[in-house]
Chains A and B, each alone.
Chain A
Amino acid sequence: MTDSTSLTFKSTSTNPRFEAAYSWSKQIFKTLTLPAVGIAVFLVLWSASSMNIKTSLGQFPGPVAVAQQFGTLYDEHMESREKEQKFYERLEKRNAAKLAKDPNYQAKQRKYTGKETFVDQIGTSLITVMSGFLLAAAIAIPLGIWMGLSTTLNAALNPIVQLFKPVSPLAWLPLVTMVVSAMYVSDDPWVAKSFLNSMLTVTLCSLWPMVINTAQGVSTIDDDLVNVSKVLRLSPLTHVRKIVLPASIPMIFTGMRLSLGVAWMVLIAAEMLAQNPGLGKFVWDEFQNGSSQSLARIMAAVVVIGFIGFLLDKGMQKLQAWVSWDK
C-alpha cells in the first residue's frame, strides 16, 4: 500500500514536463473552460425561460433574438453614417454651385440632424459619465485630502457626507433639473441642458466614495512618514505633494474605482429621466416605442451597459496598478 503510493508520487514528480503540462491544462480549464460552461448554462436557461414569458410586446427575447438585434443596430448605424455623408456631399455640391454663380455667396454650413444611432449613444454616454466623474474627482480628492489632514474639518463634514452618500440619483435629478434650468440660461448654450442634468447628477452621486476613501487614506498615513516630514520641516504644500499624496494614492484610486462604478450606474438612470441622448435614453425610447423588437433591443443595451461597466472597472484597475507603489 505504502509502496504503491510512493511509486505513483515518484512517477509524477520525476516527470516535470508532464507536471507542467498538467498544471497548464488545469489553468486553462479554470480560466477558459469553466467560464465558458457558465455562460453556456446561462444562455440555455435564458433561452428556455424566455420562451415561457409572454409580454404585451410579444415573447421575451432569447439570446438569438438579442444577437440579431446587435446586427440590426450596427446596420442602422452604418446606414445613418452613409446618409450623413451623402447629406454633406449634397451640401458641398450645392454650395460649390452657388459659389460658382455668385463669388460673394456666403457658404451655408448646415448640420446633419439625423437620429442618433445606438453607437452614437454609447459615445454620448461615455462622454457624459466621464465628465461627471472627472468633475466629482476634481472636487472630492482635494476635499478628501483636506478632511484627512484636519480632524476638525473631518468631524464637521463627516455627518454631511454620511447623509448624502446613500441618496439615490432619482432623488437628485428633479432638483438638479430645476436648478440647471433656472441658472443655466444662455442663447447659445455651450452644452445641452439635458447633458448638464445627467452629468451633475452623476457628479453628486459619485463624489462620496472618493471623499470617504481619500480622507481615510490621508488620515491613516504611517506616523513615521509624518515624522520624517516634520524633521525635514517640509512646508504644508510640500508635505501634501511629497508625502500625503503619494502615500494615499492607493486609497484614492480605490475610491475612484468605486465612484466610477457608481457613476456608470447612476448615468443610465439619469439619462432615462433627463432625456439626455445616451444609453439610458435609448432604453427609455425603446420602452415607449413598444414595437415587437423593443425588448430585444433593450436587452442588447443591457448587455452593452454591463460590458462597458466591466471595461471601465478594468481600465481603472489597470490605472491603479500603474500609479500605485504598493503592488
Chain B
Amino acid sequence: MSAFLDISHIDMTFPTPKGEFTALKDVNLQIKKGEFISLIGHSGCGKSTVLNVVAGLHQATSGGVILNKKEVKQPGPERAVVFQNHSLLPWLSAYQNVELAVKQVFGNSKSKAETKEWIEHNLKLVHMDHAMDKRPDEISGGMKQRVGIARALAMEPEVLLMDEPFGALDALTRAHMQDSLMEIQNELNNTVIMITHDVDEAVLLSDKIVMMTNGPAATVGEILEVNLPRPRNRLALAEDSEYNRLRSAVLTFLYEKQRKVEVIPTAAKTEAKNSEDDSAAASA
C-alpha cells in the first residue's frame, strides 16, 4: 500500500552568487493518514524548506511530493499551513480571517448559516469564540496563533502543515497551546507535519519524530517512533521511563551525532582582537 503522503527523493538547490547551494539532498519520507509527524533539527537544516515543498510554495529541484495519489505542484487549501508568525491579515477580525478561508474553500457549497456556524465551530475548537470580533493587534501572541490554527483547520485540509507554530510564544502559553492541539488532534485525527525546535514538544505531540541532519545537503537522519499511549499528560510523562528514553534519544541525535558548532561572531572578534593585543605586547 502506498503512503498517504509520499515525500519522494527531494533534492533542493538554490542558485547563489558563489554557485549552487544544495539545501536538501534525497529527502525521503512516507506518512500515513492521521499520523502526527515532527520535523526536528538544528536551525538552517532545511526543515522549513521541506515543509514549503510539501505546501507547494517551493518547487523541489528533483523528486516530488504525492498527496493522496495526486502530485503536489502548487499551493492549495488541502495542505493548509500554520505559519510561524501567525500571518493573520491585520485589518480583519479573527472571525473575518477565518471567514476569508472558509468562503474561498467552500464557496457556494455552504449556505450563509452553515458558513457562520462552521467559522464559529472552528474558533470554538481553539477556544477563541470569546474574541471573534477582535483584530490581531488586539489579542496576544498565543491567541493569534490559535486563530491561525482555526483558519487552517477550517479549510478541512488533508494534511496540516505547521512551521514552528509555537516558536514565538512564552513557555507557559506554549504548554497551553500544545494541550489544546492534542485535544483537537484527539477529536479530528488530522495528518500533521510540524516543525519544531523543542524536544519536549516533539515527544509529547508526535507519533513519529523525523530528525534531520545538518545542512548543507541536509536529509532525514533518523526516524523515532513514539508509541506513548494517548491521551498524553505532560505531568505524568515527566516520570515515564519510555518518555525519557525517547527524549534522550532525540537529544543524543541533536547534540552528539549532529552537534552543530555555532560560530558567535562577536566572541570570535574579541578573541582575534585579544590575540592581536598579545602579539602587540610580545613585540613590545
Contacts and interface: CB of A to CB of B under 8 A. Distances in A.
B89 A225 contact: yes
A242 B101 CA distance: 11
Contacts of A325: 90-91, 135
A233 B87 contact: no
A294 to B, nearest CB: 52
Interface stretch (B4-12, B77-85, B187-195): B77-85
A222 B90 CA distance: 11
Contacts of A227: 57, 75, 81, 83, 87
B223 interface: no
A282 B74 CA distance: 63
Contacts of B77: 231-233
A231 B91 contact: no
Contacts, number: 51
B123 interface: no
> What does DSSP make chain B's interface, helix, strand, loop or mixed?
loop
B105 interface: yes
B87 A224 contact: yes
Interface string A233-269: 1100010001100110100000000000000000000
Contact of A225 (B75, B76, B87): B87
Interface in B161-176: none
Contacts of A232: 77, 100-101, 104-105, 155
Contact of A228 (B76, B87, B91): B87
B83 A228 contact: yes
Interface in A206-235: 222, 224-225, 227-228, 230-234
B138 to A, nearest CB: 11
Contact of B90 (A231, A233, A238, A326): A326
Nearest to A246: B91
Given A225-B89, A325-B135, A231 B55 contact: yes
B43 to A, nearest CB: 18
Contact of A231 (B81, B89, B135): B81
Interface in B62-100: 74-77, 79-81, 83, 85, 87, 89-91, 100
Nearest to A227: B57
B89 A233 contact: no
Contacts of B101: 232
Contact of B89 (A230, A238, A243, A326): A243
Contacts of B83: 224, 227-228
A217 B57 CA distance: 23
- A228, A231, A238: which has the most chain B beta carbons within 10 Å? A231
Interface in B88-127: 89-91, 100-101, 104-105
B81 A233 contact: no
A233 B91 contact: no
A21 to B, nearest CB: 34
A276 to B, nearest CB: 40
Contacts of A246: 89, 91
A324 to B, nearest CB: 9
Contacts of A234: 104
Q: Which of B56, B89, B105 is the most central at the interface, judged by chain A CB atoms within 10 Å of its CB?
A: B89
B59 to A, nearest CB: 13
Nearest to A327: B137
Which among B55, B56, B100 has the highest number of chain A CB atoms within 10 Å? B100
Interface string A157-168: 000000000000
Contacts of A247: 89, 91
A233 B75 CA distance: 7
B100 A231 contact: no
A233 B135 contact: no
In the A-B complex, the 4 residue pairs with the smallest Cβ-Cβ separation, listed nearest first, are: A325-B91, A224-B87, A230-B75, A232-B104
22 contacts: A224-B85, A224-B87, A227-B57, A228-B87, A230-B56, A230-B74, A231-B57, A231-B75, A231-B77, A231-B80, A231-B81, A232-B101, A232-B104, A232-B155, A233-B74, A233-B75, A233-B76, A234-B104, A246-B91, A247-B89, A325-B91, A325-B135
